[in-house]
Amino acid sequence: LTLLGLPAPTGPRAAQAPAAATMGSGLVPRPVLVQPDPAGGYPLTAQTAITTEAGSAEAARIGTGLAELLRPATGYPLAVRTAASAAAPADGIALLLTGADPSVGPEGYQLDVTATGVVIRAAQPQGLFNGVQTLRQLLPAPIESATVQPGPWTVPGGHIVDHPRYPYRGAMLDVARHFFTVAQVERHIDGLARYKINHLHLHLTDDQGWRIAVAGRPELTSIGGSTQVGGGPGGYYTQDDYRAIVAYAAAQNITVVPEVDLPGHINAALAATPELNCDGQAPPPYTGTDVGFSSLCLSTPAGRAAAEEFVDDVVGQLADLTPGPYLAIGGDEAHTTDPAQYADFMTWVQQDVARHGKTAAAWNQITGATLQPSTLVEDWDTTGDDPDLAAAAAAGTGLIMAPARFAYLDQKYTADTVLGQRWATPSGLEVRTAYDWDPDGYLQGAPASAVRGVEAPLWTETAATPQDLDHLSHPRLPALAELGWSPAAAHDFTDFARRIATHGPRWELLGIRYYRSPQIPWP
Ligand code: TNX
């Protein structure tokens, strides 16, 4: 079996140092333009230096990150220095904020590999970061090893010009059904950044747990944070923990979108806060997996007043903690909330988010309220038929596409895989299904211009460990990432499968417990 010019495996996969592949043969997401030049490969050596744009602290930080990335496997010192002039240095690796092809935009980059070096050019630091992710994938798989490997470390020669299809490429992580520690979330973030995902939507609250500390409301976390699905100990983030996650994500070009789910999916807060209940009685904590049974009390004046005070407090503190523009307010499955009270309250919540300087994001059902023009709606519908949302999109509402039957990472791969749910995809959501859909065309009647991007939600009713997250997201998350980044015209599952196959050995070296889908020709 020979794939992509790699030699047939003879020993343990992880120990191989294959010859350099053709430029582009292992890149996910697939770049806009790749022109291989077999004559131009650049071998990294102990003398290779990384030169970054003079005067840019961000370029210097990205260069330092690249050196740290390459050091363990190569063992090379890889000095990082700033450029003396705008001209590319004569050899080594250069990260420059000048001279990029004008088509690259704020997140794109140009990458040139010749016999003397690698030059990445971008208009903005985000573009340099994305170019570095590509460079990482251009190097042989053993670059991911934590210990020194023999090499050679040849970067295949050629020219790449690349930029994203959509500005928003997201992953949602549900830390409410099962809690994940800061370190576990950071490890998950590493996996997103490798595929140029630029938003992490953190589902911080649900019936089974409240995961973010709110000053002045200690019971939210001491009671509301003390449970999870199945009855484990739960957990929560202090505000400093949350800041640490936001900063860690930002260093990898990822904006955190915090979500507080309202007015349903709220049992953890109800259990911690008696006045949010119409009868003033806190219900017991919930550790099952039903949805749609809880609601803030909106039917009495006292309940509504308590709900507004609570939400304003939480939204205000989260807005202060969050540098990104979005604050997600849920809105889904409030089956026990009266529709008129839902509409009135969720209209108010959107305005409250705006008063705190943020843009609201919400799930489909928010169309039951009056939409603020800026509210971003995440479409999780399973049929492509949501006329209310399509009408909103036609009137200017922005959409993030996350249809459950294609984008839900919590769904089983096949009827036989152990982890995951089946409600959206009774026969399973294999990699090909996750890949073969068009975000622009999914929602009937919505203009393609409304689509701002894609998101892969990872609900965690059945996922309790980092290995579970790995399994559900690899390789489906890279499939979604390619839908979000690569041009529609480049969409081709067979080609994707060949490219992502080369990531299996990388994931093994990184300790990522991926699903070995039979649809992928793994080496
Ligand atoms: C529906 S999709 C939910 C979540 C569940 C998920 C399980 C959506 C907005 N809400 O509360 O976790 O199904 O697949």
- This prediction's pTM: 0.95
Instruction: For ligand 1, say whether the CB of 333 is within 6 Å of any of its atoms.
Output: yes
Q: Enter the tokens of residue 521.
A: 């020709």
Which pLDDT does position 21 carry in this prediction? 78
- Going from the Cα of 367 to the center of ligand 1, the distance in angstroms, rounded, reads 17
Q: Could you give the percent of the chain with pLDDT greater than 90? A: 93
Nearest CA to ligand 1 atom 8: 332
- Going from the Cα of 459 to the center of ligand 1, the distance in angstroms, rounded, reads 7
Residue 15 predicted with pLDDT over 70: no
Nearest CA to ligand 1 atom 1: 291
Instruction: For ligand 1, say whether the CB of 289 is within 6 Å of any of its atoms.
Output: no
Tell me which residue of 327, 335, 209, 185 sits closest to 272, measured CA to CA: 209
Nearest CA to ligand 1 atom 10: 332
How confident is the model over 95-110, as a mean pLDDT? 96
Which pLDDT does position 359 carry in this prediction? 98
Nearest CA to ligand 1 atom 2: 380
**Rounded distance, CA 475 to CA 209, Å?**
28
Contacts of 207 (CB under 8 A, 6+ apart): 176, 265, 266, 267, 268, 286, 290, 291, 293, 294
- Going from the Cα of 292 to the center of ligand 1, the distance in angstroms, rounded, reads 9
**Rounded distance, CA 76 to CA 205, Å?**
45
How confident is the model over 117-144, as a mean pLDDT? 98
3-class DSSP state for residue 362?
Answer: strand
Report the alpha-carbon angle 194-198-202, nearest 5: 105
Contacts of 27 (CB under 8 A, 6+ apart): 34, 134, 137, 138, 499
Q: Enter the tokens of residue 105.
A: 């935009």
Which among 332, 335, 367, 400 is the best mutation to test ligand 1's pocket, defined by most ligand atoms within 8 Å of the CB? 332
CATH of domain 168-491: 3.20.20.80
**Rounded distance, CA 240 to CA 258, Å?**
15
Where in the sequence numbering do the catalytic residues fall? 333
- Going from the Cα of 397 to the center of ligand 1, the distance in angstroms, rounded, reads 22
- Give the helix/strand (H/E) hosting 351: helix 339-355
**Rounded distance, CA 125 to CA 32, Å?**
19
Instruction: For ligand 1, say whether the CB of 332 is within 6 Å of any of its atoms.
Output: yes
How confident is the model over 450-478, as a mean pLDDT? 98
Instruction: For ligand 1, say whether the CB of 410 is within 6 Å of any of its atoms.
Output: yes
How confident is the model over 487-508, as a mean pLDDT? 98
Contacts of 1 (CB under 8 A, 6+ apart): 8, 9, 521, 523
Query: What is the number of the ligand 1 atom nearest to the C-alpha of 423?
Result: 14
Can you give the residue ranges of every domain in the chain?
13-162, 168-491
Residue 14 predicted with pLDDT over 70: no
Contacts of 361 (CB under 8 A, 6+ apart): 201, 257, 259, 326, 327, 328, 329, 375, 376, 377, 378, 400
Tell me which residue of 191, 142, 187, 184 sits closest to 18, measured CA to CA: 142
Q: Which residue did the predictor score with more confidence, 38 or 486?
A: 486
What's the ipTM?
0.94
**Rounded distance, CA 143 to CA 69, Å?**
8
How confident is the model over 332-357, as a mean pLDDT? 98
Lowest mean pLDDT among 72-86, 255-269, 400-414, 492-506: 72-86
- Going from the Cα of 404 to the center of ligand 1, the distance in angstroms, rounded, reads 9
How confident is the model over 176-185, as a mean pLDDT? 98
Residue 420 predicted with pLDDT over 80: yes
Tell me which residue of 284, 288, 357, 294 sits closest to 330, measured CA to CA: 294
Query: What is the number of the ligand 1 atom nearest to the C-alpha of 421?
Result: 14
pLDDT, tens digit, for every residue of 426-441? 999 999 999 999 999 9
**Rounded distance, CA 260 to CA 237, Å?**
14
- Going from the Cα of 428 to the center of ligand 1, the distance in angstroms, rounded, reads 16
Q: Which one is the CATH code of 13-162: 3.30.379.10, 3.20.20.150, 3.40.50.20, 3.40.50.720? A: 3.30.379.10
Instruction: For ligand 1, say whether the CB of 291 is within 6 Å of any of its atoms.
Output: yes
Q: Where are the alpha helices (DSSP H) in 194-338?
A: 218-222, 239-250, 267-272, 301-321
Please give the span between the terminal C-alpha atoms of the chain, in angstroms, as a whole number: 8
Residue 17 predicted with pLDDT over 60: no
Q: What is the DSSP letter of 15?
A: G
Residue 1 predicted with pLDDT over 90: no
How confident is the model over 383-394, as a mean pLDDT? 98
Ordered DSSP codes for 104-139: GTTT-EEEEEETTEEEEE-SSHHHHHHHHHHHHHHS
> Predicted confidence band at 88 (pLDDT cuts at 50, 70, 90)?
low
